[in-house]
Structure formats: structure tokens, C-alpha cells
């Protein structure tokens, strides 16, 4: 059982190494990297490549570690008790299973994605240590222990908004997805747009990497933005020459809106295009 990328996801050697090490040793894999480099996508693709169900747990700033295990819906029980519902006598009726419980119960070994773990409170990862280590937890309300039938393959993504605790890091494998170089990027575009004309690809890549080099950009465009942009180019059937030609006024705003998401960046870019035109 080895992961080596899929037909729609290009994984570099170091990434596949990290994924496989995590799978073999059954440790969580922590993924960091620039936004838009496919961190979340990795879990989807690993699940697809290995033909495993994917369970996604998207963490928010208000998420608590407990919510991944289970929640006791006290308010519903209170309401039922006031209405005299018979369900109220069994507390198990009010235990709502979380994503982790779901993953522990799965028939086949699932892939569990814990997305953007850094969004939550600083203590969040620490609260999950025991559960991820032992792959079991205790439900106080029903006095039962939930054990994983199969240790799930756990992929955790982080955007570096908070430092994760050392004790948590020590238990993970770690991989930092670097921004792909041109060769890898061309490969990525190829798997997403197999029929793309070579000239258009070359021109688009050239403008894309040029744009990334632009000094003073607030948010550099990344892989997902490039893919969106190429989708636009293909949909509008833009000829490759149009990308090179600085005089194609109509091309500028439409095309670059997909790459630049910030009005200051847009202004900077337009100013440069303008200067460029005057220089000719």
C-alpha cells in the first residue's frame, strides 16, 4: 500500500516519502505550506489513491477537541425532559458522534483529514494527543470506551497561524509543501488540462512565474490560482499571443483577476503594465 500521487495530483518524492512513512508507521502526518499548494487536496487524493473513505474534520476558531470525539446535547435532553419525551431516559440518545468517533468506527481503515488545526485554540492539539496516540477515548456519559477498529490514516493541515505544541509535533511526521518549481508546475497543469496547447501553457507559465517575481506583491498567486486562470484562458479561447502582447488592453483585467486577489496588487500590476507600454 504505497501512495505515489494520482492522475490528478502530482506528488514530489519527498511528499510521497512522508506520506508513506506516516502510513506505514501509523502516525499522523502534519502538512504545512503556502496557501493554495494543495494541502487539503492531499488527503482527498490519498483517500482516492488507496481507495479509502475520507472523513473530513474542518477546524474553526471555535472548534473544541471534544467535538471531534462526541458532544452531549444537554439542551435537547432538557427540552425533551420538559416535554415528557420517553427518549430522555437513555442518555445515549443525546450523545452526538464526532468525526474522530466516526473514523474509529469505520469498517475499513479511513483517511481522516483534520483541516487547518491551527485555526482552533492553542490547546486544541494537546487535547487530542491521547486520542491520536492510543486511538481510543472514554465517553463519560455512557461509561464506554471507544477504540479504533483500524488506526485511521491521519492527515493534518496547518497554515502556521499558531505554533503547535511540541508534544503534539513529536508524534507526527511533518512535511512542508514547497511552492512547485516550473517543471513540477508544468506537470501539475498537464494533469489538470491534458489537452492544453503547448504554446498557451508556455506563455501562461511564463507570465505566471513573472507575476510571482513581481516585487511588492501582497499575495503571490499560487497553484490553485494558476489552475483557475488557465481554466479561464481555455474557456475564453484566448490565443497564446495575447498573453505576451502588452497592448491587449482588454486582456489585462479579466485575466489577472484570477491571479491577483488584492486591489493593491492589481493597481501595482496595472501601473507596471502601463509603464511597460509607455516604454515601447
Partner 1 sequence: MLLDLFYSLRKARLPVSVTEYLTLLEALDRQVVAGSLDDFYFLCRSALIKDERLFDRFDQVFSAYFKGRELSLQELFGIDDLTRIPEEWLRRQAERYLSDEERQQIESLGGFDELMKALQDRLREQQEAHHGGNKYIGTGGTSPFGAYGYNPEGVRFGQDNGRHGRAVKVWERREFRNLDGSVELGTRNIKLALRQLRRFARTGAAEELDLDGTIGATARNAGMLDLQLVPERRNATKLLLFLDVGGSMQPFVSICEELFSAARSEFKHLEHFYFHNCIYENVWTDNRTRHSARIPTTQILHTYSADYRVIFVGDATMSPYEILMPGGSVEHWNEEAGAIWMQRLLTAYPHAMWLNPQAESRWPLVPSIMLLHKLMSGRMAPVTLEGLERGIRMLRQASSTPPAMSSVTDNGR
Taking the least distance from each CB to partner 1, the nearer of 78 and 108 is: 78
The radius of gyration of the chain's CA atoms, rounded to the nearest angstrom, is 24
Q: Which stretch binds partner 1 (CB under 8 A): 77-85, 97-105, 138-146, 238-246?
A: 77-85
CB of 189 to partner 1, least distance (A): 14
Q: Which stretch binds partner 1 (CB under 8 A): 18-26, 191-199, 224-232, 244-252?
A: 18-26
Q: Is 155 in the site for partner 1 (CB under 8 A)?
A: no
Within positions 157 to 196, which residues make up the interface with partner 1, using CB under 8 A?
A: 160-162, 164, 166, 169-176, 178, 183, 187
User: Which alpha helices (DSSP H) does the chain contain, by range?
Assistant: 13-25, 39-50, 65-69, 74-83, 99-105, 124-134, 166-170, 182-192, 198-213, 223-236, 240-244, 251-256, 263-279
Strand pairing category for 111-115 and 153-158: parallel
Is 157:116 a contact under the CB 8 Å cutoff? yes
Residue 249 or 264: which CB sits closer to partner 1? Answer: 264
Q: Name the minimum Å distance from CB 156 to partner 1.
A: 12
Report strand pairing: 173-177 vs 29-33. parallel
Residues 6+ apart with CB under 8 A from 223: 36, 37, 38, 179, 180, 185, 188
Q: Does 18 bind partner 1 (CB under 8 A)?
A: yes
**Per rule CB under 8 A, count of chain residues that contact partner 1:** 33
Q: Quick one: which H or E segment has residue 24?
A: helix 13-25
Q: Under the criterion CB under 8 A, does residue 149 sit at the interface with partner 1? A: no
Residues that bind partner 1 (CB under 8 A): 13-14, 17-18, 20-21, 24-25, 27, 30, 32, 74-75, 78, 81-82, 160-162, 164, 166, 169-176, 178, 183, 187, 218
Amino acid at each position: 500500500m504505497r501512495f505515489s500521487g494520482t492522475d490528478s495530483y502530482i506528488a514530489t518524492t519527498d511528499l510521497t516519502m512522508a506520506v508513506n512513512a506516516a502510513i506505514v508507521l501509523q502516525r499522523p502526518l502534519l502538512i504545512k505550506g503556502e496557501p493554495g499548494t494543495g494541502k487539503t487536496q492531499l488527503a482527498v487524493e490519498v483517500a482516492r489513491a488507496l481507495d479509502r473513505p475520507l472523513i473530513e474534520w474542518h477546524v474553526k476558531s471555535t472548534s473544541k477537541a471534544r467535538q471531534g470525539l462526541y458532544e452531549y446535547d444537554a439542551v435537547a435532553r432538557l427540552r425533551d425532559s420538559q416535554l415528557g419525551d420517553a427518549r430522555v431516559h437513555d442518555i445515549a440518545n443525546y450523545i452526538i458522534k464526532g468525526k474522530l468517533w466516526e473514523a474509529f468506527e469505520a469498517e475499513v481503515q479511513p483517511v481522516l483529514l483534520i483541516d487547518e488545526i491551527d485555526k482552533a485554540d492553542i490547546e486544541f492539539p494537546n487535547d487530542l494527543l491521547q486520542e491520536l496516540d492510543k486511538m481510543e477515548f472514554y465517553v463519560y456519559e455512557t461509561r464506554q470506551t471507544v477504540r479504533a477498529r483500524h488506526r485511521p490514516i491521519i492527515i493534518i493541515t496547518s497554515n502556521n497561524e499558531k505554533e503547535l505544541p511540541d508534544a503534539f509535533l513529536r508524534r507526527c511526521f511533518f512535511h512542508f509543501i514547497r511552492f512547485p518549481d516550473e517543471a513540477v508546475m508544468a506537470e501539475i497543469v498537464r494533469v489538470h488540462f491534458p489537452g492544453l496547447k503547448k504554446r498557451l501553457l508556455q506563455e501562461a507559465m511564463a507570465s505566471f512565474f513573472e507575476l510571482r517575481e513581481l516585487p511588492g506583491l501582497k499575495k503571490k498567486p499560487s497553484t490553485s490560482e494558476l489552475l483557475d486562470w488557465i481554466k479561464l484562458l481555455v474557456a475564453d479561447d484566448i490565443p497564446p499571443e495575447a498573453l505576451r502582447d502588452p497592448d491587449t488592453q482588454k486582456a489585462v483585467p479579466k485575466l489577472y483577476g484570477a491571479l491577483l486577489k488584492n486591489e493593491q496588487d492589481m493597481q501595482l500590476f496595472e501601473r507596471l503594465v502601463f509603464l511597460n507600454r509607455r516604454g515601447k
